[in-house]
Amino acid sequence: MYEKLLYPVDGSDLSLVALPHVAEIARASGAIVTVLQAVEIVTEADAITVPERRGEADESIHRIVASLRDQGVTVAAPRVIEGDAGRSIVEAADADAADLVIMATHGRSGVRRLALGSVADYVVGHASCPVLLIRPPQDG
């Protein structure tokens, strides 16, 4: 069914919402998971903090990889890359010939979404493979 899954994360707790789904699908299908985080440079000032953010991303990804491996999932070498998150995810999915991208979505809508853009919308609209979006539980 699935051989290669791509699990993009952003270093937030929200991206961990998709972790149980990634683990379940990977175990059920025997797929290999690649964990990816893009470190975006928005302004020149951001470029100064990229090494620090890369270090934080490496730590975060290694914890996720360890969790997946503890759950019996085969994980490819994790990747932290610099660039636009949406484009980086789509390019990684194509380069890895991913069968499925599984990612959390912030679930924004309306004006806020238009103002901030939506990585999930970009990936859904541009990925050449299916994308499974996991929304966080709604506070009640």
Thinking of the domain 4-134, which architecture would CATH place it in? 3-Layer(aba) Sandwich (3.40)
Residues 34, 29: Cα–Cα separation, whole Å: 15
The ranges assigned to domains in the chain are 4-134
Contact 8, 36 (CB under 8 A): yes
What residues have CB less than 8 Å from 12, skipping those under 6 apart? none
20-73 pLDDT, tens per residue? 999 999 999 999 999 999 887 766 666 666 777 778 888 889 999 999 999 999
> What's residue 51's pLDDT?
72
94-108 pLDDT, tens per residue? 999 999 999 998 765
> If we measure between CA atoms, which residue out of 71, 87, 103 comes closest to residue 5?
103
pLDDT reading at 128 higher than 60: yes
